[in-house]
Amino acid sequence: MLERLGVIDNRSRRLIAAGLGLVLVTMPLWVSGPGNDLDVANVFRSGRSIARHGTYRPSRAPGAPVHEVLVGVTDLIGGTVLTNLVSLVAAGFLLWGLDRLLRREGAGPGARWAVALVAVNPWFVVAATSSTDYVLALALTVGAANALRKGRPGWAGVLAALAMGT
């Protein structure tokens, strides 16, 4: 078993290289502020209200409490860089979950190309490196679909509920 820990297989190398590539390509974006979505200022206002005062002021009707709490707490800890990194991590989970879902459904080798096209889409890159709720909601939704396909309806319900609150 210890021999296995010291060896990195080709798949792991590719995943590590892809992750490092994603970080390097997106670094200028996730350090350049919270993004330019129309309601990002309202999301930060709502998140800060929750994190600092324990009061909830929805950023927009009907509100997005899951995302607003996450933005408020991470903004308090690490500012906009950390809130953007949370979006980048959610993007990674979204791509991984989409790959798993497509492979589980029998999409074959073309599934990786589909995931790669999502990853290099300019909209996705911008959304993945700014403090918006789109990527997090999609990651939770794909996670719910994966949980449902694995026969875990309870987890699917929790993830779907979190996605709806995002």
The string of pLDDT tens digits covering residues 72-91 is 999 999 998 899 889 989 99
Identify whether 62 is preceded by a cis peptide bond (ω within 30 of 0): yes
First to last CA, the chain: 41
> At residue 1, does pLDDT exceed 60?
no
Q: What is the DSSP letter of 68?
A: H
- Residue spans of the domains in the chain: they are 10-164
Phi and psi angles of residue 63, each rounded to the nearest 5 degrees, phi first: 105, 160
pLDDT digits (tens, 9 = 90+) for 107-118: 888 888 999 999
Confidence (pLDDT) at 6: 64
Count of helix runs (H) and strand runs (E) in the chain:
8, 0
Q: Which of 129, 136, 143 is nearest to 96 (CA)?
A: 143
CA distances, 69 to each of 61, 88, 157 (Å): 16, 17, 20
Give the per-residue pLDDT at 4: 58
Give the tens place of pLDDT for each residue, 46-63.
999 999 999 998 888 888
